[in-house]
Amino acid sequence: MIYELRNKIPQNATFLRSEDVLTSTIFGNLRYFSNNDILNTFLSKSIDIHNKPLSLKNEKYLFKFWEKYLTKGFCKINEPDLILLNEKSVIIIECKYFSFLSEESDLDNKDVYDNQLLRYSDIINEYYSNRANKIIIFLTSDKVKPIEIMENTLKKLTQNIQLYWLSYIGYHILVIMGKTVSLY
């Protein structure tokens, strides 16, 4: 989907700026590589609020696309774009491609703040509490880290969950003869 990242989509394309198509193309292909270095190289570009990069070991993951979860704290179904699982880790990846994070706040009560990332932390705590590594990656098309969203989310996020940000823009990954090449 490099043509989508480089804005070369045909004008009559029905999937114009589709984050689901982009997500399924990138991660759908990555799940079939026997060498996890490609996935880990891409995800290791994720940074936390303090610009510390995500450190992943070369482990295999089960890929779960758009699984539906009902959590105790919310009456609506939550559907993370991608969950990567193994015996030790759970990584939820929320992808936004020229779209906004679903956020809710109460103007009368400034302590009330909710977004998709917080709801996904509830999924981690309810369904995957036995995993040692609990990570949420906010994958966007932003060129700069969305500091305000990360700060607001971290205020409410439980301490056992790590929050990272990664951008589609600037990290186009190409595989040539089994080697990973980052195109900037």
**Which domain covers residue 82, as residue numbers?**
2-183
CATH code: domain of residue 163: 3.40.1350
Token digits for 30?
């990555």
Query: Three-state SS for 11?
Result: coil
Q: Estimate the crossing angle of helix 147-156 against helix 116-127, to 10 degrees.
A: 40
R_g of the chain, CA atoms, integer Å: 17
Considering its fold, how many domains does the chain have in total?
1
Question: pLDDT for 31-51, tens place per residue?
Answer: 666 667 778 888 888 999 999
Phi–psi pair at 7, nearest 5 degrees: 60, 45
- Mean pLDDT, to the nearest integer, of 144-158? 88
pLDDT digits (tens, 9 = 90+) for 23-33: 776 776 666 66
Greatest mean pLDDT range, 109-123, 130-144, 166-180: 130-144
